[in-house]
Structure 1
Amino acid sequence: MPLHPVHAPEGRDTPLPIGGTHRVNGHAMKPPWPEGMQEIVLGMGCFWGAEQLFWQLPGVHVTAAGYAGGVTPNPTYDETCSGRTGHAEVVRVVFDPRVTDLETLLRVFWEAHDPTQGNRQGNDIGTQYRSIILTTTDGQRQAAESSREAYGEALSRSGKRPVTTEIEPLEAFYYAEEYHQQYLEKHPGGYCGLKGTGVSCPIG
């Protein structure tokens, strides 16, 4: 959860430098996006595997690893991992709603991780690994909340714990360092912490 600014690292005014071109599809990593694109930001544990999951989906224009949901501007990885920035590791997903719909992205999100674990995903422990959806429109917020309720009911029927996923409006997305961008494309076979519950999400 976001901390009081007095306890958080000061951060910096300048974004962390990134290459600017997506290593997999060659699209620009920074806005402006092509006309008609929409954006949602998703946190589901370590962002390496999460980013790969979404860049592989049809209709996803570009992805980026970053930090969001906290208070420190332009935090570093070390600052985020300290737990003092309040940020989660997240993936910016820019998608074409004419090719894929939000419900499909949300279903992938819910099924690819365990949203009942609070501030962890498996062996990755800390507030930076919490499950979070950061929305950019009221429609996204409503869809996210409906999907959370639907998946929570499905999990409950399977004997799972309650969903802990936060849903908030996106205030700021900060790019992670260049070495985190498309990490699993640069390091095939690298660490991927994604592990779902095995319960299907009844949306989309």
Structure 2
Amino acid sequence: MFFLSDVLNKKLNLPKAAEALPGRAKAIPTASKHFVSKRPLKGPYPEGLETALFGLGCFWGAERMFWQVEGVWVTAVGYAGGVTPNPTYQETCTGLTGHAEVVLVVYDPKIVPYAELLKLFWESHDPTQGMRQGNDVGTTYRSAIYTFGDAQYQAAIASRDAYEASLRGAGRGKITTEIAPAPEFYFAEEDHQQYLAKNPYGYCNLQGTGVTCAIPAAVSA
């Protein structure tokens, strides 16, 4: 039982640098094109597009949700917010890399503003669960918004505060979502890219709270 407790503790607590797996210097292999849109995963992206980065549990279902949004040019899944450089899926699952499973969203702000992506993010998962989403337990499944620039950061904070008030009114707990400037993003392996397009009956644990997120009018990023 001690061993089991030790493993669970590692999965629920972010590792310190000295505890993290070493990783590797070179990027792991991944796909070159989006399985659905056939657009390049790593760019170059058309001029005028912007980038967002969200973690809301298992990245398979989260990515499908975003690639279906009008105005989203391409999506990719990967790892961010940890210590280990160029981690693999198996390594992140140990909880010893510190990374969250995340979705990179490249979008046209003239078609879908960042505020709409935030609304979709908040309403599509439960951001009050800490290091888990439902039955998916561990640091890799934590809720996170990694921002590009001050405008996105301020918009994310404002939307969190507004949604937390709504959740509190519905008897829900405090939001535990990590909001921070975007760290390095590591593309996940090819098998995980657009996983539910390749495996339409595959696992998806994405589930919201049922509480509507009213984005403040001032959020325009």
| TM-score, L = length of structure 2 | 0.90
Distance in 1 (alpha carbons) for counterparts of 2:124 and 2:86: 27
Tell me by how many angstroms 1:4 deviates. 2.1
> Structure 2 matches for 1:77-116, cutoff 5 A?
77-116=89-128
Aligned length: 204
Distance in 1 (alpha carbons) for counterparts of 2:183 and 2:210: 32
Structure 2 residue identity aligned to 1:150: A
Counterpart in the other structure of 2:65: 53
Structure 2 residue identity aligned to 1:4: K
- Contact 2:115–2:215 under 8 Å retained in 1: yes
Runs of 4+ in 1 over 4 A off after TM superposition: none
Uncovered stretches (5+) of structure 2, i.e. residues with no partner = 1-12, 217-221
Structure 1 residue identity aligned to 2:89: Y
Q: Are positions 1:22 and 2:27 aligned together?
A: no
3-state SS, counterpart of residue 158 of structure 2: helix
Q: Are positions 1:150 and 2:162 aligned together?
A: yes
Q: Are positions 1:198 and 2:210 aligned together?
A: yes
3-state SS, counterpart of residue 7 of structure 1: coil
Q: 2:82 aligns with which of 56, 70, 88?
A: 70
- Contact 2:14–2:139 under 8 Å retained in 1: no
Structure 2 residue identity aligned to 1:24: V
Distance in 2 (alpha carbons) for counterparts of 1:18 and 1:79: 16
- Contact 2:89–2:189 under 8 Å retained in 1: yes
> Structure 2 matches for 1:140-179, cutoff 5 A?
140-179=152-191
3-state SS, counterpart of residue 32 of structure 1: coil
Counterpart in the other structure of 1:8: 20
- Contact 2:31–2:189 under 8 Å retained in 1: no
Tell me by how many angstroms 1:107 deviates. 0.3
Q: 1:188 aligns with which of 173, 188, 200?
A: 200
Tell me by how many angstroms 1:26 deviates. 1.1
| TM-score, L = length of structure 1 | 0.98
Tell me by how many angstroms 1:108 deviates. 0.3
Tell me by how many angstroms 1:2 deviates. 4.7
Question: Residues 48-94 of structure 1: CA distance to partner in whole angstroms, max 9, x if unpaired?
Answer: 00000000000001100100000111101111011111100000011
Structure 2 residue identity aligned to 1:12: R
Structure showing greater radius of gyration is 2
